[in-house]
Amino acid sequence: MSIDYQERIPNNVNLAQDKTLQRALEHWQPEFLSWWREMGPDGSTDFDVYLRTAVSVDRDGWAQFGHVKMPDYRWGIFLNPADPNYKINFGEHKGEAAWQEVPGEHRANLRRIIVTQGDTEPASVEQQRHLGLTAPSLYDLRNLFQVNVEEGRHLWAMVYLLHRYFGRDGREEAEALLERRSGDADNPRILGAFNEKTPDWLSFFMFTYFTDRDGKFQLCALAESGFEPLARTTKFMLTEEAHHMFVGEAGVGRIIQRTCQVMNELKTADASRLRAAGVIDLPTIQRYLNFHFSVTIDLFGADQSSNAATFFSSGLKGRFEETKLGDDHVLKGDAYPILILQDGRIVEQQVSALSSLNERLRDDYIRDSVAGVGRWNKIIEKAGIAFRLLAPHKAFNRKIGTFAGVRVSPTGELIDEAGWACRERDWLPSEADRAFVTSLMGRVTAPGKFANWIAPPAVGINRQPVEFEYVRFN
């Protein structure tokens, strides 16, 4: 499954054999590049960036590292190898051979799933496009750019599916993916969290920890799909996604580490003294965490959804680790607990397992994100500081589902509007918090140097030293 880099569009799908498809994608390619120039990382065109590029889809050694100018990055189409025994593993078609072409009756749903996933990829590049101007180190700048080029490649992955399997309306959707803009009033990105701003590096690390992890869970569910090309595409995307979550977890961890260090040096937990010393106090980090966590769990959709049931029953979108689960994989008549509001209390209720699949994926996601919060707390604990970060309650600050518009504290108490108004500032980043974090941002360009508010990483990239020149400005 090696990748052909002689082609204009690097690929491992024998693109040269399908001239019509190749021509269509070669027509889309310059449109992608002009989107990248317009909406990709600000002012970065001439930088040489130490990037990894996929050379094969093998489990080990798919990446090759070297300095590349980002517009010359070889975006391409990489699918995991086909499995001749691959079956539909869930839903009403369970046990049948997997689809190699789009089944007519599921065409609209499948296209919608692919477009929704595809839309998030360029959206995050747009959200992050100004961050390069304030990178805390060359190491971090390189990581940002690596994430950005890979999100660009994820867009390629979805666009390939649209062009290859959906004909004319697929081509139209592929063009629309380059026309929507994150945060645009008239033509926004499809999902809420992808229209929020990512204005500073604390937000960026929270985003790559929490929101790229939503990507992981969506991709895992699609990697189970009975439409095998989608499963093969998303499996390879997951290998890239792992790095994005690493960037987020390590980034937040290094901010915490630096804050704890200064807390111990100054022997204080006083936020104003810590801010004066140029680090981000832990309660502010908690508020950013609350924001990104709650905005991201909305991405899983309504707690009960007939679409989610249809996507599953028709074999399009599975559950997280579907084939490892011990049930019948059909779920007719099965139940699943969700939270509802009853007589002024939040209580659990058993509902149809099929209609609550969004909630189930959200719960899987929450378990996974909470684990990383525990790892951040270890850093605080090791520094001998009593503070602990906490993932907020599932009903906190929701805009979608049963708890949309219901006021719930981070610890899960129902409160009234007045109670919310007087505590909101303790729970979510205020304008003042954001202004303070913004005030710390400034580009650090000397190799091996780091901004004051973040600790250096323990190791560099690809066994390079931390002080390696990860980005060369020309």
Sites of contact with Fe ion (CB under 5 A): 121, 151, 154, 212, 215, 241, 244
Least gap, CB of 378 to Fe ion (angstroms): 25
Q: Which is nearer to Fe ion, 128 or 304 (CB)?
A: 128
SS (H, E, C) 339-372: EEEECCEEEEEEEECCCCHHHHHHHHHHHHHHHH
Q: Which is nearer to Fe ion, 181 or 394 (CB)?
A: 181
Q: Which is nearer to Fe ion, 29 or 239 (CB)?
A: 239
Q: Which is nearer to Fe ion, 151 or 200 (CB)?
A: 151
**211: DSSP letter:** I
What is the spatial distance between Cα 402 and Cα 104, in angstroms, rounded to a whole number? Answer: 33
Q: Which residue, among 162, 225, 242, 255, has the nearest Cα to 457 in the 3D structure?
A: 255
The one-letter amino acid at 93 = H
Is the alpha carbon torsion for 212, 215, 219, 221 positive or negative? positive
Least gap, CB of 154 to Fe ion (angstroms): 4
Least gap, CB of 121 to Fe ion (angstroms): 5
Least gap, CB of 91 to Fe ion (angstroms): 25
Q: Which is nearer to Fe ion, 154 or 393 (CB)?
A: 154
Q: Which is nearer to Fe ion, 246 or 436 (CB)?
A: 246
Across 242-259, b (16+ Cβ under 10 Å) vs e yields ebbbebbbbbbbbbbbbb
Least gap, CB of 1 to Fe ion (angstroms): 21
- Count CB atoms within 10 A of the CB of residue 179: 11
Pairing of strands 63-69, 48-54: antiparallel
Q: In sequence order, which residues have a C-beta less than 8 Å from that of residue 82 and are 6 or more positions away?
A: 228, 232
- Count CB atoms within 10 A of the CB of residue 187: 9
Least gap, CB of 468 to Fe ion (angstroms): 24
Residues 414/345, Cβ–Cβ less than 8 Å:
yes
Least gap, CB of 146 to Fe ion (angstroms): 10
Q: Which is nearer to Fe ion, 126 or 212 (CB)?
A: 212
